[in-house]
Structures are given as C-alpha cells and as structure tokens.
Amino acid sequence: MLIKDILTVGKTAVSFEFFPPKTPKGWEVLFETIADLTVLKPAYVSVTYGAGGSTRDRTHDLVTRIHEETDLEVVAHLTCVGHRFDEIKRILDRYAESGIGNILALRGDPPADKAVDGTFDGDFPYASDLVAFIRDIHPEMGIGVAGFPEGHSAVTNRLTELEHLKEKVDAGADYIVTQLFFDNRDYFDYVERCRLAGIGIPVIAGIMPITGGKNMLRMAELSPRTRFPAGLIRTVERAGTEERIEMAGTHWAAEQVRDLLDHGVPGIHLYTLNHSAATLRIGESLGLAGFDDLL
Ligand code: FAD
C-alpha cells in the first residue's frame, strides 16, 4: 500500500524508523526489536540509507527482509548525493522487482572527510532531482521527502527555504517527514508556513525520544539546528543519571505525541534507533495497546 493512501484514512499514522545494522548480532537484536514493536501495530516502518551508497546492500536486504518476513509496510530511504542516474535506476528497479513501492527521497550529505570535488556530487544536485527521476521512471511508486521545521543546517535564507521544499512537492512528492523537534509549536508553525507557501501535502511529525545525556549530545551534533527548549534542559538536569534521563526524555516525547494526536496530525514518525524500550514506553504511557486504533 502506498503511504499516501495510508495517510488519507483520516487517523494519525504512526511509523517507526530503523537503520541497517553492521554486525550479525545487530541484525539479531534488530529483528527482536521489530518483533517487540510489531505489537504496537505501526502504520509502516522505514529503513535508512547511508549517503553515497555506504549501506546500499544492507538497506536493500533489511527492506526486503521486513517485506518478506513481516506484515509491515516498509519504506526504503534513498539518498542521491554521489550517485549516477544508472545506479539509482538499478536500485529502484531492484526495489520494484521485490514489490517495494515506497521510497523516502533524500539528498543526503557527503561524508565529512570527502571534499566535494565533483567526484562525490553525482548526477543529482538536490532531492528534488531524485523525486523527478523516480516519478519519471517509476511513476507508480510512492515518494516521501524530508522537511526541517527549524531549518536545514545549510539554509542561509529562512524566507526562501520553503521554495526549495515546494520544488520537491512540485516534482511529485506525496508527503513530508520532518526532522526531529522538541517543541510542537515549531512543527505547527512549520505546517502553517508550508500551507502559506502553497504546499498542501501531509506533513508527518518526526519525534526522537532522548534516551540519555550522551544520546542528547549526539542528537545535537547530528541535527545542529534542533532547539533544545529550556524546559527540556531543566528536565534532563533534574533527572541526573542516564537511567533517569531516559525516563524523563521518554516522558517528554510521549507528551509531544499526545499533543500531536490531540491535534489530529496526519502522521507521527518515531526515530527508534533500533531499540524498542522508549517506543514501547510511549505507547504504554498513552494507554494505547496499539497505534492502529487512533481516532
Ligand atoms: P534537499 O531537499 O536537496 O535540500 C538540501 C539543502 O539544499 C537544503 O538546505 C535546501 O534548502 C537546499 N536546496 C534544495 N534545492 C535547492 C535549490 N534548487 N537551490 C539551492 N538550494 C537548494 N540522510 C541519510 O544519509 N540517510 C537517510 O536515510 C536519511 N533519512 C532522513 C530522514 C528524514 C525524515 C530526514 C528529515 C532526514 C534524513 N536524512 C538522511 C538527512 C538528509 O539527507 C540531510 O539532512 C540532507 O542534508 C538534506 O536532505 P534533503 O533530502 O532535505 O535535501
């Protein structure tokens, strides 16, 4: 089923994100995580892709294993930076042959140690070029794109950034999934700004629970524009130990999810980091047996 069709059902679609593990042990743990989280009945799950193709086969293997071994709908992330047209075509054809019809089309970032000297640029300057390419050669596929409520790290003009988002929508994107945020007001304002810019497609809210002090620092590094509200910093400081920070961070995320559900958002995407505990606790603290039964 295409994600755009799931999003028209009228209930909030809750989804989970995984990344392809590097080791056999990691695969084992991930499939235990997936089994644990299946109980929550997500609307779909997605699998990340290493920019430049660093996880090309592992992403493909994980996406197809989930497709074949579970009842979960699965979305394959695909980044275009560093790739040539023929490489992307091969990846898409392989997915189509395996019955995978949903792609999250991203630009990705070149690795920090690789100078952008033309060899890593590839044939796709921006994600909008990838969206247009997919629409051209696989018009049947569902396409999601990334959105940044607090601005993308490379954005120099906050007034024109949504024009670039609109280019992805005009090229054929069906829905947007946001970068993580900790203050729902940033998401609601972003959706409003999208509408003012003439972007009408669903905007799925990306939520990542803080699961420890170190984890919070890592988030800040990976997502440099993310604002950590004073209330959240106070909460983390009060909690003190890693274990208590995890409890407090998960509670914060659960409150965000509750508020988003109350506002009837079209979708909530939980960044699981391949662990089930925080996501299960969010479901539990909301009193939900599963996410399939939301109003
Ligand atoms: P784009 O939409 O191409 O935007 C990149 C930058 O270029 C933005 O600053 C944009 O404003 C600017 N821009 C766009 N078009 C133009 C134009 N025509 N002229 C000038 N400037 C322009 N990364 C991974 O490597 N693997 C993943 O699996 C992955 N999954 C993600 C999932 C989500 C939900 C999100 C939010 C991000 C994910 N990322 C992933 C990170 C993402 O690849 C990076 O943040 C990347 O820098 C931006 O990707 P994009 O698709 O938004 O790029």
161 lines ligand 1 (CB under 6 A): yes
179 C-beta closer than 6 A to ligand 1? yes
**pLDDT digits 0-9 by tens, 129-184:** 999 999 999 999 999 999 999 999 988 888 889 999 999 999 999 999 999 999 99
CA dihedral of 165, 105, 116, 54, whole degrees rounded to 10: 150
List, in order, residues 6 or more apart from 126 with CB less than 8 Å away: 107, 164, 167
pLDDT-derived band at 295 (thresholds 50, 70, 90) equals: low
Nearest CA to ligand 1 atom 15: 164
Tell me which residue of 295, 257, 294, 290 sits closest to 72, measured CA to CA: 290
Evaluate: CB of 110 within 6 angstroms of ligand 1. Answer: no
Give the residue with greater pLDDT, 119 vs 72.
72
Single out the residue of 147, 183, 178, 181 nearest to residue 162, CA to CA. 147
- Give yes or no for residue 64 having a pLDDT over 60: yes
> Is the CB of 233 within 6 Å of ligand 1?
no
Atom 28 of ligand 1 has which residue's CA nearest to it? 48
Whether the CB-CB separation of 29 and 21 falls below 8 Å is answered with yes
- The answer on pLDDT for 52 being more than 90 is no
Q: Which of 111-125, 145-159, 197-211, 221-235 has the lowest mean pLDDT?
A: 111-125
In short, whether 206's Cβ falls inside 6 Å of ligand 1 is: yes
pLDDT of residue 84: 95
Answer yes or no: is pLDDT of 15 > 80.
yes
Confidence band of 10 (pLDDT split at 50, 70, 90): confident
Is the Cβ–Cβ distance between 85 and 134 less than 8 Å?
Answer: no
- Site to substitute for ligand 1 among 109, 131, 164, 179, most atoms within 8 A of C-beta: 164
User: Mean pLDDT over residues 54-70, rounded?
Assistant: 96
Give the pLDDT band (50/70/90) at residue 114: low
Tokens of 288: 């939900």
**Reported confidence tier of residue 9, pLDDT bands at 50, 70, 90:** confident
Pocket of ligand 1 contains residue 155 by CB under 6 Å: yes
In this predicted structure, the answer to whether residue 207 has a pLDDT above a threshold of 70 is yes
* 143 C-alpha to ligand 1 centroid (Å): 14
For the stretch 251-272, pLDDT in tens is 999 999 999 999 999 999 999 9
What is the gyration radius of the CA atoms in the chain, in angstroms? 18
The arithmetic mean of pLDDT across residues 1-27, rounded, is 96
Q: Whose CA is nearest to atom 49 of ligand 1?
A: 107
Q: At what angle do helices 277-285 and 242-262 cross, to 10 degrees?
A: 50
Cα-to-centroid distance, 128 and ligand 1 (Å): 9
Q: 152 CA distance to ligand 1 centroid (A)?
A: 7
What does the block give as tokens for 260?
């988003």
Q: How confident is the model at residue 244 (pLDDT cuts 50, 70, 90)?
A: very high
The answer to whether 37 and 109 have CB atoms below 8 angstroms apart is no
Strand partners, 145: 105, 176
Question: Which residues are catalytic, by number?
Answer: 17
The residue written with tokens 């130990």 in the block is 241
If you measure from the C-alpha of residue 81 to the centroid of ligand 1, how many angstroms do you get, rounded to a whole number? 10
* CA dist list (Å): 284 to 98, 156, 254, 288: 35, 41, 9, 6
> What is the predicted pLDDT for the residue at 115?
52
- Of 108-122, 128-142, 191-205, 229-243, minimum mean pLDDT range: 108-122
Give CA 273 to chain center in angstroms: 11
Question: Is ligand 1 within 6 A of the CB of residue 94?
Answer: no
Looking at ligand 1, which residue's alpha carbon is closest to its atom 44? 108
Of all protein residues, the one whose alpha carbon is nearest to atom 33 of ligand 1 is: 146
